[in-house]
Amino acid sequence: MADSTIDRATFEDLKATAGADFVHELVETFLSEAPEMLKDLRAAVAANDADRFRRAAHSLKSNSNTFGALALGTLARTLELQGLNPVREAGGAPLEALELEYARVAAALTELKRA
């Protein structure tokens, strides 16, 4: 269900202030940009690049909050604050959780866009 993944109030607010058509375009932009951020996180871990990791997590957090993807935003924020070391130590597990949540968000947003 879309409601548990995307906070409907936030999403409706966004549509009301920016316009439904514009928000549809914005969702498409997000769906094409976000996979790059996820890839960036993986690459940053592989390269042990803390700055790149923090920036990618920061971007993902920021966009998640814009659309009301609160769970995804919280996961991204944790990554931003903790940095890449806990991810390395956990063998990448936090990234898998993030990618899983993103898949839910992407599906929910696609559904909302169609509605």
Partner 1 sequence: MRERGRSGARLLVVDDNKVNRLLLKRNLELMGHDAALAENGRAALEMLRRETFDLLLLDIEMPEMDGFQVLEQIRNDLQLRDLPVIVTSTLEGVDNIVRCIELGAEDYLQKPVNPALLKARIGASLEKKRLRDQQKELVRRFATPEVAQELQQSGFALGGKRVRGTVMFSDIRDFTPLAEVQAPEDTIELLNTYYTLMFNAISGHGGIVSEIAGDGLMAVFGAPLPLPDHCDAAVRTALEMIEMIDLFNVDQVAAGKAPIRIGIGIASGEMVAGYTGTNDRATYTCIGDTVNVAARLEAHTKVAGRAILIDGATRAGLRESIQLEGLGPVTIRGKAQPVDVFSVK
Residues at the site binding partner 1, with contacts judged by CB under 8 A: 17-19, 22, 25-26, 29-30, 33, 54-55, 58-59, 61-63, 65-66, 77, 80-81
* CA 92 – CA 8 distance, rounded (Å): 31
Shortest reach from residue 38's CB to partner 1, in Å: 14
* CA 44 – CA 50 distance, rounded (Å): 7
Shortest reach from residue 55's CB to partner 1, in Å: 6
Shortest reach from residue 91's CB to partner 1, in Å: 26
> For residues 56 and 95, which CB has a smaller minimum distance to partner 1 in the complex?
56
Sole residue written with tokens 């514009």: 22
> For residues 2 and 67, which CB has a smaller minimum distance to partner 1 in the complex?
67
* CA 58 – CA 88 distance, rounded (Å): 18
> For residues 21 and 91, which CB has a smaller minimum distance to partner 1 in the complex?
21
105 touches 72 (CB < 8 A):
yes
Q: How many other CB atoms are there within 10 angstroms of residue 74's CB atom?
A: 14
